[in-house]
Amino acid sequence: MEDFLSRAEPKAQQLLLMNDTIRLSDIFPSDWKNFILYNKEGEHIGNAKSPLEATNLMKQYLVQPKEKTIDKSVLITVIIVLVALLVLVVSVLLVWKWRVQQQFRKEQRERRLRELELTAIRSQMNPHFLFNSLNSVQNLVQKNMGREAHLYLADFAGLIRKVLNNSEKEEVSLAEELEMTEQYLRLEQLRFDFDYSMEIDSEIDVHNTLVPSMLLQPFVENAIVHGLQNKTSDRKLKITMKRRDSEIKIEIEDNGVGREAAKELSKTKNGKGTKLISERLQLLKEKQGEKYLLETIDLPEGTRVEIIIPEEN
């Protein structure tokens, strides 16, 4: 043993001083060789019987941690990709669901608007109105007022034609709406004997400004039937339109008996046409995202309806 150490020590010193590597066979020449491998922490790596086997074992040891690191990185990447795909799919589904709901609501609004428009037309052309109009013509003929009867029939036919034409339109020009309203006023004026006036702001382009069809008539009818009809004299109706910024303010004012008195006198009448218009304006507001306002104001003498709509061209 002492001989072994005496021969090994010089070689070990030479190894430390001259080179980082040396063949084990140079220290102990022998036919028997065995390699025991350790890492720098002193942990046993494995045994080898040849330099080649030792080299392969060392390569395997060095590569193995890297492979584990690579496998872990790949796993993390796969998880991130899967999570991203899941988030993307969920987002697409949510957007698709939102769009379907929006489309459904839009179709519901348009369907309801169409129903309200048709109901408004039926309301204006109800048998009661047609009967009263024809009865007024008959009275004119019986009084030998042929010219007045002819004018009345012309207005009546023109009103019916416009109502039918506008039944297919969601919007009409303000000029068309005013013309139809005035024809209706002339027809009712013969029955109830009242004065009316229409004041339109000169800044409003009535021919190129669009308004919801059948907008004015229900409120005008309500003012005449519920307000002026129950008044004995000095019956007046005034329609004014003013432009402000990008809006049009419409006022329909009568000096009739007022809403409360009208309710007491006519408990069976409920102003159905005005309710239809109110609902239409609300649906248009939701559909277009623009300002539509409707307000009814009780006056000391009579009632005023204020309508605010966007100025559309």
The verdict on residue 95 lying in a domain is: no
Total domain count for the chain?
1
Q: Which helix (H) or strand (E) holds 254?
A: strand 247-254
Q: Would residue 54 count as lying in a domain?
A: no
Of the listed ranges 13-27, 78-92, 140-154, the least confidently predicted one is: 13-27
**How do residues 260-295 score in pLDDT, each as one tens digit?**
766 665 554 545 556 666 777 777 666 666 677 888
- Write out pLDDT tens, residues 13-29: 554 444 444 454 554 45
Q: Which of 180-184, 236-240, 258-262 has the lowest mean pLDDT?
A: 258-262
Q: Write out pLDDT tens, residues 90-130.
A: 888 888 888 888 777 777 767 666 666 556 555 555 566 67
Cβ contact 239:250 at 8 Å: yes
> Is 29 contained in some domain?
no
pLDDT at residue 7 tops 90:
no
Could you tell me the CATH number of the domain that includes residue 139?
Answer: 3.30.565.10
DSSP letter string, 112-166: HHHHHHHHHHHHHT-HHHHHHHHHHHHHHHHTT-HHHHHHHHHHHHHHHHHHHHH
Residues paired with 236 in a beta bridge:
195
Q: What's the pLDDT score for residue 301?
A: 86
Q: Helix, strand or coil for residue 294?
A: strand
φ, ψ (nearest 5 deg) of residue 117? -65, -45
Residue 207 to residue 162: CA distance in whole angstroms? 16
CA 241 to chain centre: 30
Residue 189: predicted pLDDT: 87
How far is Cα 181 from Cα 214, in angstroms, rounded to an integer? Answer: 9
pLDDT digits (tens, 9 = 90+) for 23-72: 545 544 544 456 665 565 566 666 666 666 767 766 676 656 655 555 67
Spatial contact of 293 and 308, defined as CB atoms under 8 Å apart: yes
Q: How many CA atoms lie within 13 A of 289 on its CB side?
A: 1
Query: Residue 99: inside a domain, yes or no?
Result: no
Q: Is 297 part of a structural domain of the chain? A: yes
| Choice between 168 and 45, residue whose per-residue pLDDT is larger | 168
Over range 163-187, report the average pLDDT: 85
Q: Domain span at residue 160?
A: 125-310
pLDDT of the residue at 100: 84
Name the average pLDDT for the chain.
75
Inside any domain, residue 251: yes
Q: Residue 292 has what pLDDT?
A: 78
Cα(120)–Cα(271) distance, integer angstroms: 12
In a domain, 35, yes or no: no
Which one of 73-82, 89-98, 131-140, 157-166 scores highest in mean pLDDT? 89-98
Residue 45 burial by Cβ neighbours in a 10 Å radius (0-12, 13-18, 19+): middle
pLDDT on residue 289: 61
Whether residue 193 is contained in a domain is answered as: yes
